[in-house]
Chain A
Amino acid sequence: MPRHVTHVPLRWADMDAYGHVNNVVYLRYLQEARVDMLFVHAPKQGAEQLAEGVVVARHEISYHAPLHYRAEPVRVETWVRRVGNSSFDLGYEVLDVDGDGVRTVYAVASSVLVPYDLDDAHPRRVAHEERLVLESFLELDGPEPGKAAA
């Protein structure tokens, strides 16, 4: 299954006092990719309701390599790990791919997302059209964020 690809521009102010992109900002890059996938592209494929409300129930992220400011955007690949009745999981890789196809991965992450009715303030079920669009990005054996402890 294909992954959704988003190219996210870096900002100079994404870097912290250590001179690398701050850990929090990686979550912001994931959000840019997720919004592009769920709120911009998914509605065009028939899942209009997603743009009206999806909330994050959980994030997990492993940081693999530091990023530094550059003019070129960074690539974020997003796929669907699981589609449940009232939630679904996304996987992400933040990476560069060079001309030879060599991948440099900066972070691997996953999120649990819950379709949400913001007017009534309660979760709702994944609609049939949403499931079809989400399942077109299904990848069950993608990389997962793991603990890199020492």
Chain B
Amino acid sequence: MRHVYECSVRFDDLDAFGHVNNVTFAEYLQEARVDFAHRQLRASSGNAPHEGSVVVQQSIDYLAPVPFRTEPLRVEVWVTRIGTTSFEVAYEVKDESTLFARATGVLVAFDVRGNTPRPVNPVEREILERYLEPAP
């Protein structure tokens, strides 16, 4: 199963080349991931706000340019691996006809207050497992 986030394109997401800037794609991925974390992980796990996760690695393949549009983009995010203190996600940025980008990320469950990695807890693991799919 994939989490689906409808992502609006803002006028100032475009750069001097008239397309959505490469950095902004990473913002779209982040919005989808945070939406997933808030709606799925945090709502069900009872985690405190400081029990979050941090990004330790990511890769993005840019497949097609995104010109300005009023229709939102569809960002799909799912889980590809669950470790002891880390998990991996994959993303697709697309609409009905075009796949604009593919991406992956490695996240470490992190205690922000204690400034230290923490184990993925059992409730989080169960939720993450529902979104487990092979990497693209």
* Residues on A facing B (Cβ under 8 Å): 18-19, 22-24, 27-28, 31, 53, 55-63, 118, 145-150
Contacts and interface: CB of A to CB of B under 8 A. Distances in A.
A3 B61 CA distance: 25
A32 to B, nearest CB: 10
Contacts of A18: 52, 54, 112
Given A57-B62, A59-B22, A150 B83 contact: yes
A58 B56 contact: no
B27 interface: yes
Interface string B47-74: 0000010111111111001000000000
A19 B112 CA distance: 9
Nearest to A23: B55
B84 interface: yes
Contacts of A56: 22, 62
A59 B83 contact: no
Contact of B117 (A58, A145, A150): A150
Per DSSP, are chain A's interface residues mostly helix, strand or loop, or mixed?
mixed
Interface in B84-136: 84-86, 88, 106, 108, 112, 117
B23 A27 contact: yes
Contacts of B84: 150
B26 A23 contact: yes
Nearest to A32: B23
Contacts of B45: none
19 contacts: A24-B27, A27-B26, A31-B23, A53-B17, A55-B22, A57-B62, A58-B62, A59-B26, A60-B58, A60-B59, A61-B58, A62-B57, A63-B56, A63-B57, A118-B18, A146-B57, A148-B57, A149-B83, A150-B85
B96 to A, nearest CB: 21
Contacts of B117: 150
Contacts of B52: 18
A55 B62 contact: yes
A31 B30 contact: no
A27 B24 CA distance: 9
Contacts of B55: 23, 63
B57 A24 contact: no
Contacts of A58: 59-62
